[in-house]
Structure 1
Amino acid sequence: MNKSKPTIEGLLADPSFIDHCLNDDVKQSDPWSTRIENNPEDEIVYVQAKEMVLLLTGKMPESLIEAKLGAFKKRFYEVNPKQKSRYNFRTDKRSALTLFSGIAASLFLIAGIIFFLRNSAPKQEYAFNDIKGKTITTPFTERNLIKLSDGTEAILYPGSKLIISEDFNSDDRKIAISGQVYLKVFSNKAKPFVVYSKHTTTTAIGTAFYVRDFEKGNLSSVLLVAGKVKVNEPTRKTEAFLEPGTTMVVDNATLKTQKRKIDNEQLKDLTEFKLDLNNSDMKAIVNRLELFYGVQIDLSACNCQFKRLTGDYSKKSLSAILNSISFTNQVSWEIRDQKIVFLPGPNKP
């Protein structure tokens, strides 16, 4: 079933919902019962839609018909006080049902027209490969700060690519990325901002977040720094809403997703673009360096015990930090297939 916000016209057009309304022996395992129970904030919409279904099929209980007729009479006489002596509303089931069926049929017709107009135009569903337009690339040794036409700021990390759709900022705002991009989105509720990568689709209104999806990477991720975003993994149709300091990680091989939290200190460092290490082990260092510099680091070829590292490296270049790690641990590093690979043994002179 669709997870979007329910509407009366949408529910009336759904055969499974109509079956649910007409089934007197609804089981607890019925999908609609479960959905209604899990979404109490939408209960009034479900109730109104069910009442309309019962009206149109003649299955509304007599007590409810009389209650609704009484409410209708009260409202009618409030609007037309002089008509009270002219009209004598009969409250028998047949006449009341006829009256309310006419009203419901009219409402149903209006709802149907609205539903048709909203859905008659085919909705284009996009994927990473569908986004065509201006392409911006960044060399493996540089970062690139750009400003999009809507006011959104984007930082492209080394070896990354950003594609701005040809119709960007018309009905919506669509971009595609490969590598790592930090986005500070200009708020415009009328035009959703959507970021497509190979393994994720991220929708934001006004927020700041990282999208990471390297062509040859093992993991993809979306990390929310501020605001709120919705992240979809298109292949498996999974969906998650993120809060600041939360990242959704996708295993590119299995497509399994997982939510992770980062601590407040690290989140603050990211927002201020600080890289302060405090007795950090190599795993933590790699995680920080990968996100801070937008690179991929591979330790698999270097079977050694790395020493912990302390210091403020905010103003250090990536190569200076890698050289410091190499010297401290008597290992070497090189670039292979757009990855930084650590190797056993010191650099040769």
Structure 2
Amino acid sequence: MNRQSFAILLNKYLNGECSDEEQQVVEQWYELLEEVPDSKWNIKELEEKLWQKIKGQAFEEETEVVSLSFWQNNRFKIGIAASVLLMLGAFAWLYTQKEAFSTTISTQQSTPKGMLEIQNFSNQAKKLTLEDGSQVTLQPKSKLSYPEHFNADKREVYLTGEAFFEVEKNPQKPFFVYSGKVTTKVLGTSFYVKNLDGVKKIEVEVVSGRVSVYEKEENEGKQGNGVVLLPNHKATFFAESNLFVTNIVANPIIQTTKIQDTKVFFEFDDTPMSEVLKKLREAYGLEIIVENEIMNNCILTADITKQPLYTKLDIICAAVGATYEVKGTTILINGKGCE
């Protein structure tokens, strides 16, 4: 470990950007100090004191020290030489893990030259703002590659891992996300892209707007099989079979901006099922079909305001003697009906 690497990791720690493993390494450095860091110390002074301890005192003084001394908190102080060796070993392990992760990324995603790259090695999501104002929340162990300046006719980024995109609308300049063999094309919307099991399985979940997801063909400019997703829809691409499977997201969220008071909206008092389901469709932007038209005559009295969508459906179906199932991006409700 050289002085530059030491300074970089120490600054990450002071800025709260370390992973758990990196934090443990830096805290071992602090244990080498025989005095509690003073609030008057500046970063350079702290860095210098720690570096001198690591490089000098450990090997010059501690080789002759046999006895153990107590810390102020009455814990035993481990021999500094051993502590430094442990610290150096941990730092080497972190460096190896970082290099291994970089190698894995390079084999999973081919990125054009001249692109800027951001890799999130921390254990927290990192938010980025691109040139056009679009925002990307990059999850841990993920990488985003993008140009400093987008082309005149399109915006292109490359993702390995998982990220949430909030794309600025620009119909004249579509936004493309390349992830493994999958291309996601939007004009302006918010959505998730996730690599699962390496790049063998890729998920795209739409929060708002409309997204086109398709397989990237070898021939440039040619588009393979794909799907169009609406809000609360998701598509999973299975690379081994080149297959897209569409479904509804695990936790659908309310889409309409017309609802000002959701408590009033989801309180029902002797309300026909036809009205209840109409309001659910409007709220979540999903297709909800009653297989037996007689079900529309059933009456519901309930307050399901605070419940997530699937719990709402559970309560509704229990009240009218019906069942429901999700078929792709459609919810089907079936029952004998009500007198």
TM-score (norm 1): 0.38
TM-score (norm 2): 0.39
